[in-house]
């Protein structure tokens, strides 16, 4: 029973639906397991709760917007 876990900054409902659909489809193709055996878990973290390369994602986003 494949379980796919995604951790991201907040996503829209449409983005979540698309992730669930597309990740399930690829997993079905790779594993051969039927659709109903796949689980996709989406965990959303605020940008200030995530860090990349010594900076919070919130800081990175602000820097990109300032350019």
pLDDT of res. 41? 98
CA–CA gap between residue 12 and residue 3 (Å, rounded): 21
Q: Which of 56, 38, 54, 36 is nearest to 46 (CA)?
A: 56
pLDDT of res. 31? 97
Residue 3: helix, strand or coil by DSSP?
Answer: strand
Q: How many CA atoms lie less than 13 Å away from 15 in the CB half-sphere?
A: 10
The owner of tokens 């350019």 is 67
CA–CA gap between residue 23 and residue 39 (Å, rounded): 10
Domain that holds residue 9: 3-66
Per-residue pLDDT of 18-67, as tens digits, reads 999 999 999 999 999 999 999 999 999 999 999 999 999 999 999 999 98
Would you give the distance in Å from CA 6 to the centre of its chain?
A: 4
Q: What is the CATH number of the domain that holds 31?
A: 3.30.429.10
pLDDT of res. 65? 95
pLDDT of res. 27? 97
**pTM summary value:** 0.80
Task: Report how many domains make up the chain.
Answer: 1
């Amino acid at each position: 029973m494949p379980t796919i876990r995604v951790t991201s900054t907040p996503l829209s409902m449409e983005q979540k639906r698309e992730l669930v659909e597309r990740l399930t489809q690829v997993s079905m193709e790779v594993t051969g397991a039927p659709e109903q055996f796949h689980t996709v878990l989406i965990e959303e973290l605020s940008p200030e709760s995530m860090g990349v390369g010594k900076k919070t994602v919130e800081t990175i986003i602000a820097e990109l917007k300032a350019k």
